[in-house]
């Protein structure tokens, strides 16, 4: 073989190995047999003693407790260990088909994904026996443009081990005992002025890429039809009808603990025991890329994706917010099957 041919051959192999085949078999139905052949990644199984650590490739000298508090916004000093079986990820998978991205989460046996307690107020450390309105977030965040300078660092949201460059999220929120909303986030702002610009652009079906700090973003529910009149009434900002040819579609800007339920286009299902969870996010919810005019997420792209589970303190030891973030995975949305 000539050198050029060899180089081409090596390129082809790397390309084939790294490319993730399309999978048109996954149904969001609480039956997980359809995930059986999808490559699996593991996350360490944490324990109550706090002896289990993760590492970030960006801070190789530091080790982070696997499940940890949710208010340490830097990699150093490291967060403290807070154990909660409901967020203790042990396995995860990523898949896609022609229109959607899928994420699979499994927590340790006995953990229940999306479990929240019911009460009048948030958990109060000074009154721990009082029942409280719990919260739970199933989070997938994506470096969509494969550029680590746009978007936020995970640690800006207190997620560890950290990594840079996350532009957009899809999430499901549970609140006060039940599903509350499913949302997309556009992380491309540094202050309220920039958030207002993001809103202006999102309403026009545009998704923005910019360097960002974690706490400045837009969060919206996306429907492929008119939201119900009840949803429209409860919507905090909107609903806004997207411009043609997307004028059957609507978004409503929202925030944590919004007066749900809001049933947008993201769907999810849970196993009977509750420790497995699957989530489907249609690409359409990421709007159009303002820079290219094309769909923000589409086949052929290489993205980085990071999964987290996060919950309020009712079932934690000590009783504080707890989250677990898995390692960042590079993923290529191939248009061919395996
Ligand atoms: C949670 O739901 C309960 C029962 O429906 C209700 O009494 C309580 O006010 C709710 N809590 C919040 C924070 O909305
Ligand atoms: C994507 O993630 C991989 C694996 O963690 C990492 O090596 C790579 O640098 C990341 N890419 C970007 C653009 O951050
Ligand atoms: C970002 O990516 C560039 C190019 O791949 C790389 O040189 C740089 O070290 C990365 N920065 C971080 C913080 O990962
Ligand atoms: C908002 O952030 C951008 C980017 O850092 C900066 O250029 C702009 O001056 C800031 N605006 C305000 C009002 O702080």
Mutate to test the pocket of ligand 1, among 117, 118, 124 (most ligand atoms within 8 A of CB): 118
Mutate to test the pocket of ligand 2, among 163, 164, 209 (most ligand atoms within 8 A of CB): 163
User: How do residues 244-259 score in pLDDT, each as one tens digit?
Assistant: 999 999 999 999 999 9
From the list 103, 93, 87, 91, the residue with the least C-alpha distance to 28 is: 103
Task: DSSP letter for 233, please.
Answer: H
Nearest CA to ligand 1 atom 5: 118
Mutate to test the pocket of ligand 2, among 41, 330, 331, 332 (most ligand atoms within 8 A of CB): 330
Alpha-carbon dihedral angle through residues 17, 20, 22, 26, given to the nearest 10 degrees:
130
Please report the DSSP string for 31-94 in residue order: --GGGTTS--EE-----TT---EEEETTEEEEEEESEE-S---SSSSPPPB-B-GGG-EEEEEE
Nearest CA to ligand 3 atom 9: 148
User: How do residues 232-291 score in pLDDT, each as one tens digit?
Assistant: 999 999 999 999 999 999 999 999 999 999 999 999 999 999 999 999 999 999 999 999
273 CA distance to ligand 3 centroid (A)? 41
Rounded-to-integer distance, Cα 276 and Cα 40, Å: 13
Distances, alpha carbon 237 to alpha carbons 191, 230, 231, in Å = 18, 14, 11
Nearest CA to ligand 3 atom 7: 148
Q: Residue 103 pLDDT more than 60? A: yes
Residues recorded for the chain: 338
Tokens of 185: 């986030």
Rounded-to-integer distance, Cα 105 and Cα 113, Å: 9
Q: What percent of the chain has pLDDT over 70?
A: 95
Rounded-to-integer distance, Cα 144 and Cα 294, Å: 13
Mean pLDDT is lowest, of 126-130, 131-135, 235-239, 319-323, for 126-130
Half-sphere exposure of 58 (CA within 13 A, CB side): 15
Nearest CA to ligand 2 atom 7: 330
Nearest CA to ligand 4 atom 14: 191
Which pTM was predicted? 0.94
Q: Which residues line ligand 1 (CB under 6 A)?
A: 118, 120, 133, 176
Tokens of 58: 């960006």
């Amino acid at each position: 073989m000539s050198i050029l041919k060899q180089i081409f051959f090596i390129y082809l192999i790397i390309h084939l190995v790294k490319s993730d085949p399309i999978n048109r078999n996954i149904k969001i139905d609480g039956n997980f047999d359809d995930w059986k052949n999808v490559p699996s990644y593991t996350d360490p199984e944490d324990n109550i003693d706090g002896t289990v650590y993760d590492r970030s490739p960006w801070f190789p000298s530091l080790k982070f407790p696997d499940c940890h508090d949710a208010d340490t916004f830097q990699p150093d000093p490291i967060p403290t260990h807070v154990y909660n079986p409901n967020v203790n990820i042990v396995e995860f998978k990523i898949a896609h088909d022609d229109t959607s991205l899928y994420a699979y989460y499994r927590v340790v046996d006995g953990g229940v994904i999306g479990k929240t307690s019911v009460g009048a107020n948030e958990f109060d450390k000074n009154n721990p026996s009082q029942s409280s309105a719990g919260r739970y977030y199933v989070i997938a965040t994506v470096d969509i443009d494969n550029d680590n300078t746009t978007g936020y660092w995970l640690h800006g949201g207190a997620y560890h081990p950290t990594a840079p460059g996350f532009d957009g999220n899809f999430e499901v929120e549970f609140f006060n005992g039940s599903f509350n909303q499913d949302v997309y986030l556009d992380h491309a702002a540094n202050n309220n002025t920039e958030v207002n610009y993001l809103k202006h652009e999102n309403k026009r079906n545009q998704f923005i890429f910019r360097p960002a700090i974690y706490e400045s973003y837009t969060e919206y529910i996306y429907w492929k039809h008119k939201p119900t009149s009840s949803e429209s009434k409860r919507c905090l900002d909107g609903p806004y009808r997207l411009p043609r040819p997307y004028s059957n579609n609507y978004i409503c800007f929202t925030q944590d603990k919004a007066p749900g339920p809001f049933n947008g286009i993201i769907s999810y299902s849970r196993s009977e025991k509750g420790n497995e969870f699957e989530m489907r996010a249609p690409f359409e919810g990421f709007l159009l890329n303002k820079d290219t005019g094309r769909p923000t997420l589409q086949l052929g792209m290489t993205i980085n994706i990071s999964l987290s589970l996060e919950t309020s303190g009712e079932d934690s030891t000590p009783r504080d917010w707890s989250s677990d973030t898995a390692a960042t995975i590079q993923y290529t949305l191939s248009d061919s099957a395996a």
